[in-house]
Chains A and B, each alone.
Chain A
Amino acid sequence: MVVVLFVLSILLFAWLRSLPGGPVSALLGDRATPAARAELTRTLGLDRPVFLQYFDFLGRAVRGDFGQSTAVQPGSSAMQILVQRFPATLELSVVAIILAILFGIPLGYIAARRRGGIWDNLSIGGSLLGVAVPVFFLAFLLKYLFAVKAGILPSAGRQDAIDATRITGFFILDGILTQEWDAAWNALEHLILPAVALATIPFAVIFRITRAAVLDVQQEDFVRTAESKGLRIPIIRRRHILRNAMLPVVTTIGIQIGQLLAGAVLTERVFAYPGVGDALATAFQRKDYPLLQLLIIAAALVYVVVNLIVDLSYAYIDPRIRNR
């Protein structure tokens, strides 16, 4: 895991610095004097050889210091921005993946049970649409329909400017903990549209995998054995069909969680949702090297950790792997 992050940091560093433009142009614009440019370049330490810059960065990074943000929030350290924004993205992602699981698994199961029926075909078509429609398009569509036209949900932000107590940084949780119900409700309202937009792709994938897995498992010999025992239908479904069908679904959920951040960048952008994805996009536009380096490494860390958890949980639910 450490190796993965180390290699990534080298690639990332080289890649960022090979991009056209740079923080100096982004900060000063096209009409700055050469003297001002040189001055800023020296202040940011960009005049030194790249490998020295890298060792400098690495030396500080292992101590948790990723430098000051140059453009997104000048004056704050990159780490402060991450800590401040991470709960927002986590809240959004958790709600999105819960939505995807809550709808994907039951609907996939029902579609498999009524294979070839109207419901099955409809939901297959729907899930195909879910995968095919780009997140940003869907996000704009939802925003237009529910926020602009119908006006029943807010179009941007995490919470209206109301007086709410902060404890964890998770606004809904904060509202519940402090019993400020209106604050929790307000945060939830802000979360609905982005979460739905973000949940579509994982939902569609989980739905399809569940359906395919259930269809597969239904044909297995051990289901026939269970039938030959005269077991009641709910037990056959739960213990014999679903428990086996869940194995590939768990893997899929893990992969989808890993990919949520990609969707979060677009979703947060459209809904001006102040999360990591939104910061990442802004940092890219303004070439905020320190912030970009931290955010991308943090995203990689999350990805690696999620994959580890998925592998462990897989071993937990599949005894064939557990005992190896």
Chain B
Amino acid sequence: MSLLEVEDLTVTFAQKGERPFTAVDKVSFTVEPGQTVGLVGESGCGKSVTSLAIMGLLPKRGNRVSGSVRFAGTELLSLSDRQLRDRRGSDLAMVFQDPLTSLNPVVTIGVQVAEVLERHEGLKRKAALAKAAELLDQVGIPDPHRRVGEYPHQLSGGMRQRALIAIALACQPKLLIADEPTTALDVTIQAQILALLRQLVAGTDTALIMITHDLGVVAGLCDEVNVLYAGRVVERGERHELFAAPRHPYTNGLLASIPRLDAPRGERLHPITGSVGDNIPWSGGCAFAPRCSNEIGVCTETAPELIDTEGRLLRCHNPVALVKGEA
């Protein structure tokens, strides 16, 4: 049994007087214990909404969630608020994007770590604070005994993100979701945080869902990669295979758009032109078609299905040709 089975997860936002908007459209994927899975895509592709839906953290009003999210055999979408609260922080945990705004400014770091332990492990405040200092030490925060009494504004950005990771891992969750955990940080700190995440989940049973728009992050961390576009999975594959031979023009474009230091001087960057449109995607053909370099007639007529070819899932009418000598 997989640890997490997401099946046909659909999230539709409906505001009064506005056209309903489907942010996540029948997304399915599975996560095995100890595995690291990447959800990749640009802003607005539905990757964050997917993670919030799994955690049950979407706003209570204004959206409709359907499909199925099974966690270790339990259907999370049908759990009551109380049952979900028992799971969150202990079985499932999450690290957020902006470490400054994600920590409470008027509560000490120590208490913010300790309250998870008090809630799920039944520790008393004193024991919880002692354990909190231990956890801060584990995530590489120097002088943890002093830090437990400090407030978020007294820590640097990287330290805050480490503290958030300590909070998320406090109760040794089976699944950790990291939602762009390095986006708000300096490049050098990014590398440290990624190394820390890898070190903390490697060799443990904790599975990691890494949400990012940065393929560099995926390359260093993930076993399996799901590429999302406009709320749907457009390509999925094992990391090495996907990077070596991207089949979907969007994946290909993402890879090609990474600036290379070894490219000849004067060579232009290769952006994917345009941006995710706000028209109803996937209704009249492939949502990526307007930006696609491989577009053929059928693309604007019918939406492609997700098809499994030799372990690679692909949603495309006219995939990128395989490079000679491979596959």
Q: Which residues of A does B touch, CB under 8 Å?
A: 220-222, 224-232, 235, 239-240, 243-244, 247, 317-320, 323
Contact = CB atoms under 8 A, between A and B. Distances in A.
Interface in B93-110: 93-94, 96, 98, 101-108
A244 B119 contact: no
Q: Which 3 A-B pairs have the closest CB atoms?
A: A230-B88, A230-B89, A229-B89
B136 interface: no
Given A224-B102, A226-B104, A235-B119, 14 more contacts: A225-B104, A225-B164, A227-B88, A228-B88, A230-B88, A230-B89, A230-B119, A230-B120, A232-B85, A239-B107, A239-B115, A244-B104, A244-B105, A318-B105
Contacts of A244: 104-106
A230 B85 contact: yes
A232 B119 contact: yes
A224 B115 CA distance: 15
A220 B115 contact: no
B226 interface: no
A222 B102 contact: yes
A228 B51 CA distance: 11
A318 B153 CA distance: 11
Nearest to A320: B153
A206 B111 CA distance: 29
B55 to A, nearest CB: 6
A74 to B, nearest CB: 55
22 contacts: A221-B98, A222-B102, A225-B104, A227-B88, A228-B94, A229-B88, A229-B93, A229-B119, A230-B85, A230-B88, A231-B119, A235-B115, A235-B119, A239-B115, A243-B107, A244-B104, A319-B105, A319-B108, A319-B151, A320-B106, A320-B153, A323-B154
Interface of B: 55, 57, 84-90, 93-94, 96, 98, 101-108, 111, 115-116, 119-120, 151, 153-154, 164, 167-168
Contacts of A226: 104
B89 A228 contact: yes
Given A227-B57, A229-B116, A319 B153 contact: yes
Given A229-B167, A232-B85, A221 B106 contact: no
A320 B154 CA distance: 8
A222 B103 contact: yes
A208 B172 CA distance: 42
B86 A221 contact: no
B152 to A, nearest CB: 9
A226 B103 CA distance: 9
A235 B116 CA distance: 11
A229 B168 CA distance: 7
B106 A224 contact: no
A239 B104 contact: yes
Contacts of A318: 105-106
Contacts of B86: 230
A220 B106 contact: no
B151 A320 contact: yes
A222 B88 contact: no
A240 B153 contact: no
A229 B115 contact: yes
Task: Give the interface centre of A225, A226, A231 by most chain B CB atoms within 10 Å.
Answer: A225
A323 B105 CA distance: 12
A317 B105 CA distance: 11
Contacts of B167: 225, 229
Nearest to B113: A229
Contacts of A221: 96, 98, 101-102
A11 to B, nearest CB: 40
A225 B55 contact: no
A228 B94 CA distance: 7
Nearest to A322: B151
A226 B88 CA distance: 10
